[in-house]
Amino acid sequence: MTQKASDPISMRMAAFRRVLQLEAGRGHENKAVVGGMDRFLDRWRSDLTDDELQELSTSLTATLTQRKYNSLSVDQRERWVHEALTAIGDQEAFQETRNEPADQPLPKPRVAKPQAPRQAKSVPTKSSPEGLSLDSSPTVIKGVGSGIAVKLEALGIRDIRGLLYHYPSRHLSVSQIADLPQGEETAIVGSVWDVGVLRMGKGGALQSTEAVLGDETGNIRVLWFNQQYVARYVRPGNRLLVNGYFRGFRGKPTFEANGYEVVPDNEDRLVPGSLLPVYPATKGMPQRTLRRIITNALDTWLPRLSDHLPEEIRERQSLLDLVSALRGYHQPDSPETKASARHRLAFDEVFIRQIFMLSRKHECQSVRALKLTTVKAVMQEFIAALPFTLTKAQSRTLKEVLKDIAGGVPARRLVEGEVGSGKTVVALAAMLNAVAHGHQAAIMAPTEILAQQHFETISQLLKGMTRPINEPNYLVIEIDSMQKPLTVGLMLGSHTKRQKQDMKRRMEEHAVDILVGTHALIQGDVDIPDLALAVVDEEHRFGVAQRGALGRKGRRPHLISMSATPIPRSLALTVYGDMDISIIDELPPGRKPSQTKWLRPDQREQANRFIRKEVAAGHQAFVVCPLIDESDSLQTSAAVKEHRKLSEDVFSDLNVGLLHGRMNLKEKTAVMERFRSGEINVLVSTPVVEVGVDIPNATVMMVEGADRFGLSSLHQLRGRVGRSDAQGYCILMAENPSEDAQARLSIMEQESDGFRVAEEDLKLRGPGELTGTRQSGVPDLKLANLQDIELLSAAREEADVVLTRDPSLELPEHKLIAEALRRLTARTEEEESDAQAAKAKSRA
């Protein structure tokens, strides 16, 4: 990977491919890039140097000269995008092939070298597998020396297992010469009748290799465009495998080849209709080398492989056995074989992750927890006291939560909801129910502002029942149906040492019933002796390990996580597979989705006028400054500067406030209070307002440097407005967005539904990149499609069957599953500690 990233042409290829994929994903509406595909193509091509242009394959050149994408019909566009994607794939394969000769002494004509018959390979000559395992170095495989091992390492292959599981990225079908498909990449196997160098172009500047290849159905001219060196490796009489395109070239039927491989005469796999694997490769590691090494690995190791999936599961799920699946996915004899092989291997990927998640859940639920049955009188009184009625989704979720905490095992539930769907009320109700039993509860938020807001929300929602006392961080609630008043405490990292000690003491004495605080709470050493229920707000910021940490404090409390980053259900099953999930899929009545506009820098005036208009109508606006990951102080100074500009110049007649991370809590609180009360019209802020802040009267969210934010952050930011019945607006400003950023911005314009945004995010970035999931043991899934809910559910069901019967995987038939689980656990822990270390570093 790293090698490739430093190669600018391959990066640009990848960008091109992403645009095409995005375009395809958007129904070919020519909306994947700003300005349209035609302009993009022009730009892309003009970025290439002359040398690079020279090296483009004819198919890619043809693709690039397509100038009228805009005028094509959707069908034509679809075809064109498909062809362009294929052309890019070829070009990449071509670049890999080109890199090869440099690694070999030149010239070295290769005469049809007799090779050992395939059958004989099952007795490996280089080294016998005795005493070796799948964890052994690939160098024990025939054909792998230390030089090749280094290159394999670059592909992430460190052991034999890595080789067996280095899946082809695609397959080419093997065709006969008499019926070569038009315009589709294919492979042919035939004998070389003739081969030579062909000079083309001005003064013969372009040298290509030309050959005549024949099989039992006919002969064809094969051309390696601009690759004269091929002639040095191919000899008449060779049996040759070539891949490429069948096309007319200056009227003559020609096979335009992208690669070649001299194959032994007794090669029997490559029959017409079979599929040829194309592997993710790297510099100096051409397809033919990878194919040879992987074939050797399969031949030697498959006969010794045992299947970790019990036969019973394979039968129930109609899955191939592991050996057939691996062979069948690398070297399928038909598309059907490939599909069923893929299905089995994909099942494995999600199955073992479900085992991982469910064994955590089983482990956690093997202890007893308090039975917090529903105290009806308290719940009724609480609901009646609210200034609104709960939505159906809120009531349903509350019911699920209450049922969970009434069972005798620790609840582990994730409450997912669209931003503004009202998760806090549900959490509060559950906490009241816990304290109604005489125990303690806690709610944790990721930022101090948010924790403070929760504290205030409690007093707001329960206005009629709360009694402020003379201490700023305490609140007393009087509920008629409870015998004694409740005390709510607020504890933040920035409180003074004395305040904290005081709070700790009262917690320990059980003089505080509900504790509100930041995540610092769980990292610190607060002891909540009678903690029965913990609510973690904005759960997506938590790794699996952290979730566990709280559970270890004293008795296992019930744990409710709340996430406003909607996660597609399928991903949730994988990432939060150790939890049950409730979804609040409904907004309080009267809410309208916010309107989102992505503006060009020259439309700034317009944006400012708009903010002014909203303020005149009695509303308020956020202006969020760009995210600067590297430095908090840079970020702060950007906000200070923006605030100066807006307050002294642009909005000099308005009240412009400022909020940033370098302010102390007192200053932050004061600003938030002035904003909440309406005194501040426009609040300039660093991205700290991202999560959770609830100011219903704010209707405009303007994000500067919107291209620097990820989709879920943008959606969070947008969620700060549209929290009342007034229409909300989100204005995205971006100076010079990259292609990826452009894709994100236009998704934001088009999608208002958080779940849809999350799905797009999943498509754009892949599951491993989604916020917060990296620490959660997820998935570099290679084959499984996370949208495949059926596969996920089947794997989860089977994993549950296994663990219910054998919770600690001790039975002999589960030995291999236990081993796979250990490997995944080790890797996850490694990743989590890396992530923690990175976090700690960024905090320092």
Nearer to Mg ion, 688 or 803 (CB): 688
**Distance from C-alpha of 73 to C-alpha of 66, rounded to nearest angstrom:** 14
> Could you say which of Mg ion, ligand ADP, none residue 568 binds, taking C-beta under 5 to 8 angstroms by partner kind?
none
Nearer to Mg ion, 59 or 453 (CB): 453
Question: Which span sits near Mg ion by CB under 5 A: 106-114, 381-389, 687-695, 757-765?
Answer: 687-695
Q: How far is the CB of 720 from Mg ion (least distance, A)?
A: 11
Question: Which span sits near Mg ion by CB under 5 A: 137-145, 277-285, 598-606, 688-696?
Answer: 688-696
**Distance from C-alpha of 579 to C-alpha of 572, rounded to nearest angstrom:** 9
Q: How far is the CB of 415 from ligand ADP (least distance, A)?
A: 9
The CB density around residue 401, as the number of other CB atoms within 10 Å, is 24
Nearest residue to Mg ion, by Cβ distance, number only: 692
Yes or no: say if 597 and 732 are a contact pair by the CB < 8 Å rule: yes
**Distance from C-alpha of 330 to C-alpha of 295, rounded to nearest angstrom:** 9
Nearer to Mg ion, 543 or 692 (CB): 692
414: left (phi over 0), alpha (psi -120 to 50) or beta: beta
The CB density around residue 657, as the number of other CB atoms within 10 Å, is 23
Burial of 115 (0-12, 13-18, 19+ CB in 10 A): middle
Q: How far is the CB of 390 from ligand ADP (least distance, A)?
A: 5
Yes or no: say if 164 and 129 are a contact pair by the CB < 8 Å rule: no
Binding mask 48-87 for Mg ion (x = CB under 5 A): ----------------------------------------
Q: Which two tokens stand for residue 701?
A: 């969210």
**Distance from C-alpha of 84 to C-alpha of 485, rounded to nearest angstrom:** 70
**Distance from C-alpha of 486 to C-alpha of 477, rounded to nearest angstrom:** 5
Binding mask 692-731 for Mg ion (x = CB under 5 A): x---------------------------------------
**Distance from C-alpha of 465 to C-alpha of 460, rounded to nearest angstrom:** 10
Q: How far is the CB of 441 from ligand ADP (least distance, A)?
A: 17
Residue 422 near Mg ion by CB under 5 A: no
> Could you say which of Mg ion, ligand ADP, none residue 489 binds, taking C-beta under 5 to 8 angstroms by partner kind?
none
Nearer to Mg ion, 168 or 692 (CB): 692
Cα-Cα-Cα-Cα dihedral sign, residues 444, 445, 447, 453: negative
> Could you say which of Mg ion, ligand ADP, none residue 419 binds, taking C-beta under 5 to 8 angstroms by partner kind?
ligand ADP
Nearest residue to ligand ADP, by Cβ distance, number only: 422
Nearer to Mg ion, 540 or 643 (CB): 540
Q: How far is the CB of 588 from ligand ADP (least distance, A)?
A: 3
3 state SS of 172: strand
Question: Which span sits near Mg ion by CB under 5 A: 503-511, 686-694, 805-813, 836-844?
Answer: 686-694
**By 3-state DSSP, what share of the chain in percent is helix, strand and coil, each rounded to 5?**
50, 15, 35
Nearer to ligand ADP, 129 or 678 (CB): 678
Nearer to Mg ion, 89 or 417 (CB): 417
Nearer to ligand ADP, 421 or 546 (CB): 421
Nearer to ligand ADP, 378 or 458 (CB): 458
**Distance from C-alpha of 326 to C-alpha of 164, rounded to nearest angstrom:** 7
Closest CA to 289 of 55, 99, 107: 99
In the chain, what is the straight-line distance between the N-terminal and C-terminal CA atoms, in Å? 29
Nearer to ligand ADP, 417 or 728 (CB): 417
Strand partners, 531: 440
Nearer to ligand ADP, 390 or 663 (CB): 390
3 state SS of 520: helix
Closest CA to 44 of 8, 13, 76, 82: 13
Q: How far is the CB of 424 from Mg ion (least distance, A)?
A: 5
Question: Which span sits near Mg ion by CB under 5 A: 80-88, 399-407, 689-697, 786-794?
Answer: 689-697
Q: How far is the CB of 392 from ligand ADP (least distance, A)?
A: 9
Q: How far is the CB of 696 from ligand ADP (least distance, A)?
A: 5
Binding mask 316-355 for Mg ion (x = CB under 5 A): ----------------------------------------
Nearer to ligand ADP, 280 or 417 (CB): 417
The CB density around residue 151, as the number of other CB atoms within 10 Å, is 19
Nearer to ligand ADP, 41 or 584 (CB): 584
Nearer to Mg ion, 63 or 582 (CB): 582
Query: What crossing angle do the helices spanning 146-154 and 287-301 adopt, rounded to 10°?
Result: 100
> Could you say which of ligand ADP, Mg ion, none residue 456 binds, taking C-beta under 5 to 8 angstroms by partner kind?
none
Burial of 444 (0-12, 13-18, 19+ CB in 10 A): buried
> Could you say which of ligand ADP, Mg ion, none residue 417 binds, taking C-beta under 5 to 8 angstroms by partner kind?
ligand ADP
**Distance from C-alpha of 110 to C-alpha of 708, rounded to nearest angstrom:** 53
Query: What crossing angle do the helices spanning 789-805 and 335-364 adopt, rounded to 10°?
Result: 50
Q: How far is the CB of 560 from ligand ADP (least distance, A)?
A: 13
CA angle 529/530/536 to nearest 5° reads 95
Closest CA to 159 of 141, 136, 143: 136
Yes or no: say if 526 and 551 are a contact pair by the CB < 8 Å rule: no
Q: How far is the CB of 757 from Mg ion (least distance, A)?
A: 17
> Could you say which of ligand ADP, Mg ion, none residue 668 binds, taking C-beta under 5 to 8 angstroms by partner kind?
none
Question: Which span sits near Mg ion by CB under 5 A: 110-118, 224-232, 684-692, 789-797?
Answer: 684-692
Q: How far is the CB of 416 from Mg ion (least distance, A)?
A: 12
Nearer to ligand ADP, 301 or 382 (CB): 382
Strands 486-491 and 514-518: parallel
Residue 566 near Mg ion by CB under 5 A: no
DSSP H stretches of helix in 26-155? 36-46, 50-55, 58-65, 74-98, 146-154
Number of residues that bind Mg ion (CB under 5 A): 1
Q: How far is the CB of 561 from ligand ADP (least distance, A)?
A: 12
User: Residue type for 55, please?
Assistant: E
Kindly list the distances between the CA atom of residue 261 and the CA atoms of 189, 234, 464, 807, in Å, as whole numbers in the listed order. 9, 9, 81, 50
> Could you say which of ligand ADP, Mg ion, none residue 425 binds, taking C-beta under 5 to 8 angstroms by partner kind?
ligand ADP
Q: How far is the CB of 787 from Mg ion (least distance, A)?
A: 27
Strand partners, 684: 623, 658
Q: Tokens 């191919």 map to which residue?
A: 234
Sites of contact with ligand ADP (CB under 6 A): 388, 390-391, 394, 417, 419-425, 564, 588, 692, 694, 696, 723
Q: Where along the sequence are the contacts to Mg ion (CB under 5 A)?
A: 692
